[in-house]
Structure 1
């Protein structure tokens, strides 16, 4: 992580080599900003852009209600590519998820190379929403490829994984992490044609989280993905915060 300071304002950003693999250009993500006035924020953006050495894709997810960020980013040539929602499920200890949907699917946590290929295929062909899928200036095939690389990156990071199988076929999966009794759902869903299994799959996982003492569950989803948003709402999730994802593509001069 790198950090830039202007007076008392600062910006954190990082290189994202896993996305460079997908898009074939330098990729950087602005992770956070802290500022007290519009002028300092504008200078932060200008200083950050000096770190770009070639053709690049930059992205930055920020509170959609931050009008100063919106004004500065748009004035600097950034555009809003996606709106996302942070959804939370808190104090769910006494919820009987079995009364909402079947919650006794067999969950598997073991996988091999063939399973990884199946996960990549599901992510590529069955997932249609993301900060890159919804960007009209990014080639859709590259956005799909990004999901394939993300699967490998999550495995390399050692993120926890639940699978539901039918024979040797993976039907549903979920990558997640648990920090301080809070489960963060990272990436998951079901194979095309098995959308209803997502309901049973999530019900089973949430019941498991209850049993091991998880107190909160969070997930970030695209606001355009109404199907999955309604799924989470059925289980008691509420929308806590919305974000805009700002993008800018830098061409070679």
Structure 2
């Protein structure tokens, strides 16, 4: 295994193919990816030269940015009919999650079946639930969505379709973020697609700033290096 490859077995289980993340942009790593069967991800600075990636058959999928917020920056909101709790039914959460995501990089990867991309998120939510890192978001005592975290990082969230577009998300997110600060974190961060304007505007309205943009490229390799790959174009 190349020193710059990290296996991602949770994705391999879903997609039925070995999956890897490449941690450094180098011709040697990209060439080795062509010789290794599997699905590869690499995240690079948007201003870096993409010629090598294109030469070795990698294709663009997404641009990620990192919202971040300190306690004094957070816009603190509350709502009389909203509360959050970790006491929530798993099956009800799964009903909200399944099919709720469209901006994920695997949903945008034309080589990945959308049902498998949905399953990846289902599995991710299950894992967060089992580790006790999911809050249910309740409106008028009915489950309206969920908010999943890993330490101080917001990693997965969704609202029921009938709750979206009513100006309620800012209350759910603000209350969940306030709880994270009460848990002792000095800063909260996340990772979102730059194409997801609704969530970008939501984070901005709550006082989050943005940093660390990354372009995400994918490749499915069949373990055979086409001699034309890597050649000067």
What range describes the TM-score normalised by the shorter chain of this pair? 0.7 to 0.9
- Kept after mapping to 2: 8 A contact 1:19/1:27: yes
- Figure out how many residues of one structure are paired with residues of the other and give that number: 222
Q: Does 1:130 align with 2:112?
A: no
- From 186, 193, 198, the counterpart of 2:162: 193
Q: Which has the higher contact order (CA 8 A, sep 6+)?
A: 2
- Kept after mapping to 2: 8 A contact 1:189/1:198: no
SS at match of 1:163: strand
- Partner residue, 1:231: 202
- Partner residue, 1:62: 44
Counterpart-to-counterpart distance in 1, 2:18 and 2:179:
40
CA RMSD of aligned residues (A): 2.5
**Deviation at residue 225 of structure 1 after TM alignment:** 0.8
1:203-218 alignment runs, 5 A limit = 203-218=174-189
1:1-253 alignment runs, 5 A limit = 4=3, 11=4, 13-30=5-22, 32-33=23-24, 41-50=26-35, 52=36, 54=37, 56-67=38-49, 70-90=50-70, 92-93=71-72, 95-98=74-77, 102=79, 105-111=82-88, 115-156=89-130, 158=131, 160-165=133-138, 169-178=142-151, 183-195=152-164, 196-251=167-222
Residues 57-85 of structure 1 show CA distances to partners (whole Å, capped at 9, x for unaligned) of 21122222222xx2222211001111111
Q: Which has the higher helix share?
A: 1
**Deviation at residue 160 of structure 1 after TM alignment:** 1.7
SS at match of 1:102: coil
- Kept after mapping to 1: 8 A contact 2:128/2:149: no
- Kept after mapping to 1: 8 A contact 2:34/2:221: no
**Deviation at residue 49 of structure 1 after TM alignment:** 4.1
- Kept after mapping to 2: 8 A contact 1:103/1:204: no
Counterpart-to-counterpart distance in 2, 1:205 and 1:103:
15
**Deviation at residue 249 of structure 1 after TM alignment:** 1.3
SS at match of 1:106: strand
SS at match of 2:86: coil
SS at match of 1:128: coil
Where does structure 2 lack aligned partners over 5 or more consecutive residues?
A: 225-233
Where does structure 1 lack aligned partners over 5 or more consecutive residues?
A: 5-10, 36-40
Summarize the Cα distance change of 1:193–1:14 in structure 2 as closer, same or farther, 3 Å threshold.
same
**Deviation at residue 97 of structure 1 after TM alignment:** 1.1
**Deviation at residue 159 of structure 1 after TM alignment:** 5.6
TM score, norm. by length of structure 2: 0.83
TM score, norm. by length of structure 1: 0.77
**Deviation at residue 198 of structure 1 after TM alignment:** 2.2
Counterpart-to-counterpart distance in 1, 2:159 and 2:72:
26
